[in-house]
Amino acid sequence: MKKRNLWWALGLMAAGLVCFVAALLWETRLSSLFCGFGGGLVFNSLIQLWRYAKWTRPENAPLYQERLEQEQIDLRDERKVMLRDRSGRYAYLLGLVLCCFSILAFSVLNILEIQVSGLAIVLFLTAYLIVQYAAGIWFYRRLSRRY
């Protein structure tokens, strides 16, 4: 595994700790958000450090080399590239349709003078992100079985 991965993980760890310190030093309404960012960055960096330690052991070197070769084959396989492109396009088109319907729904709510809270918008965008990701995977698997 490359040293770049180690340095990236250490950088994420430092950024997470900075977020925690900022949350502790400044009592603002954003403190909970800084704690969340800090926790996410620190947890991610710990996982990356564990992977680095696992794959740099001498007994895991052949297995890691095999894994890298298979990854390169998967990235350059023309069929898989075509399926990824097509599933990405379908997920993009689904996202456009969902955006059009959400604009319509929020416009109707505005006309009816129903106030939409910031939390509702954040939850809607979270659901939208999850639907986009799941749709991309679903389209890829469906196309993979078909072709």
CB of 45 closer than 8 Å to CB of 16: yes
Buried (b) or exposed (e) across 105-124, using 16+ Cβ within 10 A? eeeeeeeeeeeeeeeeeeee
93 and 141 fall within a common domain: yes
105-108 contacts: CB < 8 A, separation 24 or more? none
* pLDDT tens column, 76-117: 999 999 999 999 999 999 999 999 999 999 999 999 999 999
The pLDDT-based confidence of 147 (bands split at 50, 70, 90) is confident
The phi and psi torsions of 23 (rounded to 5 degrees) equal: -70, -35
Residue 32 has pLDDT above 90, yes or no: yes
82 and 54 fall within a common domain: no
pLDDT of amino acid 1? 83
Question: Which of 60, 75, 90 lies at the terminal end of a domain, its last residue?
Answer: 75
CB-based contacts of 19: which residues, under 8 Å, 6+ apart? Answer: 34, 35, 37, 38, 41
User: CA-to-CA distance for 93 and 85, rounded, in angstroms?
Assistant: 12
Q: If you count them, how many residues does the chain have?
A: 147
Range of the domain at 70: 1-75
Quote the number of domains for the chain: 2
The phi and psi torsions of 30 (rounded to 5 degrees) equal: -90, 0
Question: pTM for the full model?
Answer: 0.76
2 and 68 fall within a common domain: yes
138 and 111 fall within a common domain: yes
The pLDDT-based confidence of 54 (bands split at 50, 70, 90) is very high
Q: Residue 41 corresponds to which tokens in the numbers above?
A: 């960055």
